Amino acid sequence: MKHTIKHLETNGLITEAFASELKTYQSNKPMSIFWHIRTLMYMGVTLLATGLGTVIYKNIDTIGHVTIVGIIGLLSAGCFYYCYKNAATFQPDKWASPNTWFDYILLLGVLLFLTFEGYLQYQYNIFGDRYGLATIIPAAVIFALAYRFDHLGLLSMGITLFASWLGITLTPKSLLMESTFSDVDAVQAGLILCVILLGAGYLGASKNFKKHFDFTYYNFGFHLGAIAVLVATFNFKLGWLWIFLIAPLVAGAFYYAKMNKSFYALLCAFIYSYIAVTYLIIKGCISMGADSILWAYLLLMYFIGSSIFAIQFLRRTYKQMI
């Protein structure tokens, strides 16, 4: 800022008064520890919930069950009661938290609730062998809380739990490194979840009901669908047939990127489409028995040409979007 003020002042582009006001503002501006406070709160809540969960895990057979269930349940209920008392009435739009602590107390309540529910299932088998219920019920509770208290973090947790109810582990590591989509059923489940999430995002946005949740839904849905399609393409017999399913996803992402000026969506759509097209070309070469040096030249030329085209495309789209 100081260099800009100096440059503009020296070149007579701003008045001395304005420059002086900016300089005074800059030198008097207090240092913000806003994000430090929030990071520490998040760490504190996570450590506390993890510690309590570990206590239960390690002492599950030694401490009185009622004591543990009581303490965890009471703490969780206390957190929810605090949120209920302090939250404004439900609004379909975005609303600001009543205070700095609110979001983190809600998060702590949910983490403790999950420990509480897991403990009840382990110790008292409250859902019996219907393990799906043990996942879908907390997912439903968390979704309800996310909408009631307008919490994007809880929405992500709810989506993750909902996915695990469908048998899909939704973490970047599991999606990219492990065989989450090892068979056709898993890929189909992934695609169904993708459609549900994209649909939920679209519905919310079009009905103006928690419109700001749409990015979270789209983000999960798009990556899940695209990775499911790519894994199916790479691993299954006649897998290349799957790849065409990526076209509507990518088209949707490009549309979203243009409409919302989202460069993140643009980059993601571009990466998935580049992988898909490149895979089809290489697969095509291999299927044509392309093992001569000529094909190597052609493929390298493809990489150079496609990258140059892609750079031009990205830059052009960027200029159109800004």
Q: Which positions touch other proteins (CB under 8 A)? A: 1, 3-4, 7-8, 11-18, 21, 25, 29-37, 39-41, 43-52, 54-55, 58, 100, 263-264, 266-267, 270-271, 293, 296-297, 300-301, 303-304, 307-308, 310-311, 314-315, 318, 322
> For other proteins, which is the closer residue by CB, 17 or 238?
17
Looking at the Cβ atoms of 207 and 315, the one nearer to other proteins is 315
Closer of 96 and 177 to other proteins (Cβ)? 96
Tokens of 255: 């549309």
Query: Can you say how many angstroms the Cα of residue 115 is from the centroid of all Cα atoms in its chain?
Result: 22
Q: Report in angstroms how near the CB of residue 319 gets to other proteins at its nearest.
A: 9
Query: Closer CB to other proteins, residue 135 or residue 262?
Result: 262
241 versus 251: smaller Cβ distance to other proteins: 251
Query: With respect to other proteins, which residue has the nearer C-beta, 34 or 208?
Result: 34
Torsion, Cα of 312, 314, 317, 318 (10° steps): -120
- CA–CA dist 88, 125 (Å, integer): 36
Q: Name residues whose C-beta falls within 8 Å of residue 267's C-beta, 6 or more positions apart in sequence.
A: none
Tell me the closest approach of the beta carbon of residue 33 to other proteins, in angstroms: 6
* Closer Cβ to other proteins, 75 or 189, answer by number: 75
Q: How far is the C-alpha of 206 from the C-alpha of 220, rounded, in Å?
A: 18
DSSP code string of 137-156: HHHHHHHHHHHHHT-HHHHH
Distance of closest approach, residue 7 Cβ to other proteins, in angstroms: 6
We find the least distance from the C-beta atom of residue 163 to other proteins, in angstroms, to be 25
203/265 Cα distance (integer angstroms):
19
Question: Least distance from C-beta 5 to other proteins, angstroms?
Answer: 8
Output the CA–CA distances (angstroms, integers) from residue 58 to 46, 54, 61, 109, 119, in the order listed. Answer: 18, 6, 8, 21, 12
Cβ atoms of 205 and 215 within 8 Å: the answer is no
**What whole-number distance in Å separates Cα of residue 259 and Cα of residue 9?**
38
The least CB distance from residue 101 to other proteins, in Å, is 8
How many beta carbons lie within 10 A of that of residue 174, not counting itself? 12
* Nearest approach, Cβ of residue 254 and other proteins (Å): 13
Name which of 255 and 303 has its Cβ closer to other proteins.
303
Angle at alpha carbon of residue 210, lines to 221 and 216, rounded to 5°: 25
CB of 263 to other proteins, least distance (A): 4
As a whole number of angstroms, the distance between CA 193 and CA 199 comes to 10
